[in-house]
């Protein structure tokens, strides 16, 4: 029996599908997992199964147990606000796969941004949603104990985005190595780890967050930095000033939700992380696939390298971010 056949049998065992033919319809876009849509008598569902070797050009392995971490994050975030995540329906034994509710009529935020439909207020709602999870889990021993995922986070985020670049760039290596060590040392709140526009659905009730495979109890500044990085990269790619306005709104709204620590300190850490993440998307293991224009890469690389060497708070970084050079 194939792994796909195993999944069908496990869906039956969970009571999600009947005895008739079951079709696993592949969904595109998964770098780190197989994703299928399955029609059921009670409506469509989505099944996810993490990959051990990610779909990137570089060799990049990650523990498949991260599927369990994603389920735990989705369930914990749902207790904070049930509108911001899909419902998990079942965990499946094969390859740490799981099934969750499919949400029809909810476009992916990345697709909306690329189409030029930049809703500043929605960006603010994203900031509020991220901050709400961080606030609810900050300094919480139970949440910390539930996400002992440091090695997974190192494999999926710290090594490919920070340390990989440090190994190639001797000038920036001291700053990047120190940043990586600081990131790994902070245990403040529950971090999603992949807050990207491609992992956020636009629903009638606001943002819905997906793909929490990198979830860890760590530094909340990472989530804010990761999402802001994507908006700034797309501002360069599309030469769209509204994307920098969206980044401004994201940061401002998130800052208003910080209740667990000094906001200035968090925004400085987020600025440091954003600079490193921007550089990683042109020099790391997972370069942004849409940045194919050498001039776009230069714009990002030059600004990011300068910001790694001379960090700025995230709100200042966004304000001064240049989409083009004269």
Query: Which pLDDT value is given to residue 142?
Result: 97
Closest CA to 245 of 142, 158, 325, 319: 319
Q: Judge whether residue 226 has pLDDT over 50.
A: yes
Identify whether the C-beta of residue 134 lies closer than 8 Å to the C-beta of residue 223: yes
In the chain, the largest separation of any two C-alpha atoms, in whole Å, equals: 64
- The whole-number average pLDDT for the span 168-187 is 98
Query: Which pLDDT value is given to residue 92?
Result: 79
- Torsion angle of C-alpha atoms 137, 66, 16, 104, degrees rounded to 10: 70
Q: What percent of the chain has pLDDT over 70?
A: 91
Q: Judge whether residue 1 has pLDDT over 50.
A: no
**CATH (residue range 109-320):** 3.90.1200.10
Is the CATH number of domain 3-101 3.30.200.20?
Answer: yes
The structural domains of the chain, with segments of one domain joined by +, span 3-101, 109-320
How many C-beta neighbours within 10 Å does residue 136 have?
18
């Amino acid at each position: 029996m194939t792994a796909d056949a195993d999944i069908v049998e496990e869906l039956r065992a969970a009571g999600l599908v009947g005895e008739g033919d079951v079709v696993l319809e592949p969904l595109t876009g998964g770098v780190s997992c197989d994703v299928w849509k399955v029609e059921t008598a009670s409506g469509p569902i989505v099944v996810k199964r993490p990959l051990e070797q990610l779909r990137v050009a570089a060799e990049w392995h990650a523990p498949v147990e991260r599927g369990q971490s994603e389920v735990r994050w989705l369930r914990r975030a749902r207790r904070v606000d049930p509108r911001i995540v899909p419902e998990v329906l079942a965990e499946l034994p094969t390859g740490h796969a799981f099934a969750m509710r499919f949400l029809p009529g909810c476009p992916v935020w990345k697709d909306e941004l690329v189409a030029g439909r930049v809703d500043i207020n929605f960006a603010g709602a994203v900031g509020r949603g991220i901050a709400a999870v961080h606030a609810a889990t900050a300094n919480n021993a139970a949440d910390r104990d539930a996400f002992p995922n440091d090695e997974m986070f190192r494999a999926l985020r710290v090594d490919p985005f920070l340390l990989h670049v440090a190994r190639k760039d001797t000038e920036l290596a001291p700053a990047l190595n120190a940043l990586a060590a600081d990131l790994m040392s902070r245990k403040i709140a529950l971090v999603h780890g992949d807050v990207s526009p491609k992992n956020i659905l636009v629903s009638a009730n606001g943002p819905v967050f997906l793909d929490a495979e990198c979830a860890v109890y760590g530094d909340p500044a990472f989530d804010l930095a990761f999402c802001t990085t994507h908006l700034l990269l797309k501002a360069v790619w599309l030469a769209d000033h509204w994307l920098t306005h969206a980044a401004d709104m994201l940061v401002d709204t998130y800052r208003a939700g910080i209740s667990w620590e000094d906001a200035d300190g968090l925004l400085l850490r987020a600025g440091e992380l954003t600079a490193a993440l921007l550089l990683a998307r042109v020099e790391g293991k997972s370069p942004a696939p849409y940045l194919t224009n050498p001039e776009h890469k230069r714009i990002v690389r030059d600004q990011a390298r300068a910001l790694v060497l001379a960090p700025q708070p995230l709100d200042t970084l966004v304000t001064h971010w240049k989409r083009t050079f004269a």
